Amino acid sequence: MVRQRTPTQEERYLTAFESFASNGWISDPSWLKDLRTSAIERFRELGFPTARRGNEEWKYTDIAPIARTQLEVEVGDESKIGVASIEKFLVGDDNWGRLVFIDGAYSRELSRTPPLSRGVSVTSLAEASATMPDVLEKHLSRYARYDEAAFTALNTAFIEDGALVQVPDGAVLEQPLQLLFVSTTPEAMSAPRTLVIVGRDSKVTIVETYVGLTGGRYFANVVSEIAIGVGAVVNHYRVQQHSKEAFHVGTTQILQDRDSTFNSVVMDAGGALVRNNLNVDLAGENASCTLDGLYMVNGTQHVDNQVMIDHQQPYTTSRQNYKGILDGKSQAVFHGSITVREGARKADARQNDKNLLLSNECEADTKPALWIYCDDVKCGHGAASGQIDERALFYLQSRGVDQEAARRLLVRAFASEIIDSVKQEAVRAHMETIFDEHAQEYRLT
Amino acid sequence: MANAMLEIRNLDASVGVADVEILKGLNMTVRRGEVHAIMGPNGSGKSTLAYVLAGHPGYVVTGGEVLFEGQNLLAMEPEDRARAGLFLSFQHPVEVPGVRLSEFLRAGYNSIRKSRGEEEMSARLFNQMLREKAQLVEMEPSLIQRSVNEGFSGGERKRNEVLQMAILEPKLAVLDEPDSGLDVDAVRIVANGIERLRRSDRAIILITHYQRILDYVVPDYVHVIVDGRIVKSGDKDLALEVESVGYDKYEEELEKSLSG
Ligand SMILES: Nc1ncnc2c1ncn2[C@@H]1O[C@H](COP(=O)(O)OP(=O)(O)OP(=O)(O)O)[C@@H](O)[C@H]1O
Ligand SMILES: [Mg+2]
């Protein structure tokens, strides 16, 4: 395949890599250097993706603004941020564990490691590369492949810090863990990396939050990879509330073993240009996942959620339910792809995407894709976009609720299917707050 | 006519994009404390009248006027009509997924109180009142916490409408077929609920196809509406007549009077 690229746009990352290689990583193990080197090589070959004809994955999302912006590759200075400035982004009570990253760099001061059962590790990636290098060597980049994903390649090339969670067989992470990624520097790219390895029959709850403390343009290019062992349960929440000018490309790669469960709820409320990839490989019999999402866009925001589920084994189940609320001239994309491999009999997949359009100028694009290579499966999908139900609106008004309040109630009701189904109390409350803040800006009269 | 609560004069109304004329010069006067039953064949304009009174945006008034306690009702927003004391019990109450009765009705209730210069009621007290009044129509308390009308049976929806009337305490209640689709027991329960909400300072317009509800809620007046007009008015005996002879007679009479 011939790939088009504009050399200058990739060039600055190649140059940044050169200086990273010559100054930044002298004491790093050679496998890590090799990994970064082959990743930047691949990034050079791939170039930034373009919305050219036939490139279905990027059909509705033009990342040119990211490629064009002269971004520095930032390695954060965590000392400049105090706890007061991140207070409103914190989820959960004092029992929760919390790792905080400032422009990708771990902040010991702002973080709080929970009491851990034996064998459980919750630490920064930088620290782990010194204390448990063999774990990293074995797992890092094994799940989130970068051979066909330029942004993942770029993230991998600049791996330096991030989060590592390892829970051995049979152990549990007693308290939920928040991973808070804070962007503070305009005109800079941060590339934090998260690696979660969950052993057999273990259980963990992780909340990833992506936020900005600066109003300017910045780019969070993040990758999380999560390997879920036999019979293990992972509850994963991901909240993106970047500032209005920010770029965000996030990839979450899930590998599920037999009988495992992955429950995911994502919420997107911020960012100017956002692309999320959630890839779930149901690689063991009877593995199941539930993927819920709520995206809220306004103004000229663009949010693209790409969810790819790969049913590789029999009796695997997937449920996707995404909802979008759009106002202003915003655009939202949902691309849900379900693959059922040959032999994955009795696979059961359902996908749903619904959009609520609050203006005439917003645009919702839903693109379901089903690739079924097995006969004995159940597979269904649905998509709908519409405005506020006028009959419901009149019903509420007829009871004395004024029109704007009635519309607000109905918008909230639309979101409730996602928000109210969040079982983790603190996460639900957090999402509710974000929803309320965002909903303030809707034009409902 | 000083004490008329509702005064409908020569009301013309049409519906939808096609601009089909439905109400054709309808006249009606309702005073405090009165119960008016309206009967009429399918499609004669009964619900249209109810919707026009409540301010449904899908209907266009093309002529005439409506005064509610002397105010120009037709100029008011639907929520302002509710605050002024008008209530509509829907023939087909809609499902509102994700909105609980306790939640939205309190919003409506409090906005009505506020417009009267009264204090808002707390969620706790309101829910207590809701539970108490639910007994009036023998409604399962669990229904109150569910999304409005979502998955409700026809009977549950109608009880829910009467419950809302009991909470909002309107001056004028327009009840659009609160009895249709109900079994005999449910009709008795709903009708008793309505009868207990009857008061000397409250008027009720009760739209129905059946005499049986009028055994419980005995009307002061009965009107027969055909083709967007009231063609005959009388006392409660008119309902018995309608039930025994049907509408053909009134339709024929109307045709005759129009051609004559
Ligand atoms: N939204 C609409 N668009 C087009 N026509 C409509 C609409 N709503 C009502 N109509 C028509 O208006 C006429 C009167 O309808 P309306 O609902 O007022 O009748 P009704 O007397 O309540 O009948 P029923 O006893 O069946 O409830 C009918 O012919 C109906 O088809
Ligand atoms: Mg009707």
Tens digit of each residue's pLDDT (9 = 90 or more) over A168-222: 999 999 899 999 999 999 999 999 999 999 999 999 999 999 999 988 899 999 9
Cα–Cα distance, A101 to A110 (Å, whole number): 8
- Put simply, the chain A residues between 17 and 36 with a CB less than 8 A from any chain B CB are none
Given a cut of 70, the residues of chain A with pLDDT beneath it are 1-8, 53, 74-79
Q: Which two tokens stand for residue A10?
A: 């990739």
Interchain contact, A396 vs B93, CB within 8 Å: no
8 A C-beta contact, residue A316 and residue A344: yes
Does the Cβ of B17 fall within 6 Å of ligand 1? no
Which ligand has an atom closest to residue B48 CA?
1
Residue B230 CA to ligand 1 center (angstroms) comes to: 16
Q: Give domain status of residue A183, yes or no.
A: yes
ipTM: 0.96
Is residue A77 included in any domain, yes or no?
Answer: yes
How far does the CA of residue A323 sit from the closest CA of chain B (Å)?
14
Distance between Cα B176 and ligand 1 center (Å)? 13
pLDDT one-digit tens code per residue, A396-437: 999 999 999 999 999 999 999 999 989 999 999 999 999 999
Pick the residue of B17, B53, B73, B79 with the most A CBs within 10 A to test the interface with A by mutation: B79
Nearest to A399 among B58, B82, B95 (CB): B82
Q: Give the C-alpha separation, B166 to B101, whole Å.
A: 13
Residue A237 in any domain: the answer is yes
Show residues of chain A in contact with B109, CB under 8 Å. 399-400
Q: How many distinct structural domains can be found in chain B?
A: 1
Quote the domain boundaries for residue B101. 4-259
> Is B40 near ligand 1, meaning CB less than 6 Å away?
yes
Range of the domain at A27: 9-284
Is the model's pLDDT at B1 over the cut of 50? no
CA R_g for chain B: 18
CB of B44 closer than 6 angstroms to any ligand 1 atom: yes
* Binding site membership of B155 for ligand 1 (Cβ less than 6 Å): no
Q: Which has more confidence, B120 or B16?
A: B120
pLDDT in tens, B96-145: 999 999 999 999 999 999 998 999 999 999 999 999 999 999 998 888 88
Q: Is A164 exposed, middle or buried (0-12, 13-18, 19+ CB in 10 A)?
A: buried
Nearest protein CA to atom 10 of ligand 1, as residue:
B15
Q: How far is the CA of A206 from the centre of ligand 1 (A)?
A: 54
Res. B64: pLDDT tops 70: yes
What is the number of domains present in chain A?
1
- pLDDT confidence tier of residue B45, bands split at 50, 70 and 90: very high
**Alpha carbon distance, N-terminus to C-terminus of chain B:** 31
Q: What integer pLDDT is reported at residue A2 of this predicted model?
A: 53
- The preferred substitution site among B24, B39, B47 for testing ligand 1, maximizing ligand atoms within 8 Å of CB, is B47
Ligand 1 and B92: CB distance under 6 A: no
Q: Which residues contact A246 (CB under 8 A, 6 or more apart)?
A: A183, A212, A217, A218, A219, A220, A270, A271, A272
Instruction: Provide CB contacts within 8 A for A410, sequence distance 6+.
Output: A388, A389, A392, A393, A396, B96, B98, B99
Judge whether A129 and A12 are in contact, CB under 8 Å: no
Contact B108 A400 (CB under 8 A): yes
Whether A316 maps to a domain, the answer reads no
**Which ligand is the nearest neighbour of the Cα of B42?**
1
pLDDT score of A114: 84
3-state secondary structure of B47: helix
In a domain, A403, yes or no: no
Please check whether residue A401 touches B, CB under 8 A.
yes
Decide if A390 and B57 are in contact by the 8 Å CB cutoff: yes
**Atom 25 of ligand 1 has which residue's CA nearest to it?**
B42
Q: Give Cα A29 distance to the centre of its chain.
A: 28
Asked whether residue A294 is assigned to any structural domain, the reply reads no
Length of chain A equals 445
CATH code for the domain of B206? 3.40.50.300
Burial label for A360, CB within 10 Å (0-12, 13-18, 19+), is exposed
* Residue A423 in domain: no
